């Protein structure tokens, strides 16, 4: 799936879970601004699994930091679409986000500053800006990423555990997005279950269970196909609508 579509699906997932509007699920209600800041963070988190590619878009989002992180991630996760696109990878990302969410400090006059969430936000905003092609050069990317992270740090949802939830949602929808393409994902990594030779010749098995051991539900086909656009345009509209409504509700709250 294309980077911009991953980001949109992340934001849409946050809106669906965190908004209490009639068009959302409202499972994890947050403040109106928490919908905006959480959607931004989840959009970035929905690109995190693609940090497993040293020359990919994400690796080039905030150089040199993302380049170094991508090389490390690629080595640890066994290559592109392996560890970071698996259930184990999802669990590791959630655990890391949980640990970063605990990193706070008290500053007199300001109250609690979420250092870990802030650092993670810079990285994730860099990813989102690059995927949505808003970034531009390295200096501009860093500046915009830090600016957006300050917004997230100031207006983050006050709910406990919002950071691991947002990261889990983002990574989860990314894995689903890639599962829907021809290439598929190795969901049970590091287990690589090869398809048994006896059933490999069955057309449906060959389609869903790749020789590489990857699983695929190729609803989208190849990345960037018209089917991907047909699914992702409404999802993107939903995300944008949810975020704008969150912003308006916050404004209304300030005025009245």
Instruction: By CB under 5 A, name the one of 74, 114, 178, 245 that touches Zn ion.
Output: 178
Choosing from 41, 50, 180, 181, the residue that interacts with Zn ion (CB under 5 A) is 50
**Cα 194 to Cα 14: distance, rounded to the nearest angstrom:** 35
Residue (84 or 141) nearer to Zn ion, CB: 84
Which residue of this chain has its Cβ atom nearest to Zn ion in the complex? 178
DSSP 215-253: B---SSBSTT-HHHHHHHHHHHHHHHHHHHHHHHHHHHH
Mark 132-171 with x for binding to Zn ion (rule: CB under 5 A) and - for no binding.
Answer: ----------------------------------------
Beta carbon nearer to Zn ion, 159 or 225: 225
Q: What gap in Å lies between CA 103 and CA 108, rounded to an integer?
A: 17
52 binds Zn ion, rule: CB under 5 A: no
Task: CB nearer to Zn ion: give 19 or 57.
Answer: 57
The 10 Å CB-count burial string (b at 16+, else e) for 189-212 is beeeeebeeeeeeeeeeeeebbee
Q: Which is nearer to Zn ion, 156 or 186 (CB)?
A: 186
**Residues near Zn ion (CB under 5 A):** 49-50, 178
């Amino acid at each position: 799936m294309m980077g911009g579509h991953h980001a949109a699906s992340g934001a849409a997932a946050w809106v669906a879970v965190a908004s209490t509007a009639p068009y959302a699920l409202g499972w994890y209600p947050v403040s109106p601004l928490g919908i905006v800041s959480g959607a931004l963070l989840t959009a970035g988190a929905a690109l995190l699994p693609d940090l497993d590619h040293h020359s990919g878009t994400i690796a080039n989002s905030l150089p040199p930091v993302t380049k170094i992180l991508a090389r490390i991630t690629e080595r640890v996760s066994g290559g592109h679409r392996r560890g970071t696109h698996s259930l184990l990878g999802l669990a590791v990302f959630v655990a890391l986000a949980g640990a970063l969410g605990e990193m706070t400090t008290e500053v007199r006059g300001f109250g609690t500053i979420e250092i870990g969430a802030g650092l993670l936000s810079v990285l994730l905003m860099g990813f989102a800006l690059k995927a949505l092609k808003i970034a531009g050069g390295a200096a501009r990317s860093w500046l915009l990423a830090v600016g957006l992270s300050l917004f997230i740090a100031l207006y983050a949802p006050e709910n406990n555990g919002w950071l691991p939830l947002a990261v889990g949602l983002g990574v989860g929808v990314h894995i689903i997005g890639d599962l829907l393409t021809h290439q598929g994902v190795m969901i049970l990594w590091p287990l690589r279950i090869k398809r048994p030779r006896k059933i490999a010749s069955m057309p449906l098995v060959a389609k869903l269970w790749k020789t590489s051991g990857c699983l695929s539900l190729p609803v989208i086909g190849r990345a960037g196909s018209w089917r991907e656009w047909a699914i992702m345009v409404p999802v993107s509209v939903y995300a944008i609508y949810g975020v704008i409504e969150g912003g308006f509700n916050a404004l209304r709250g300030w005025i009245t």
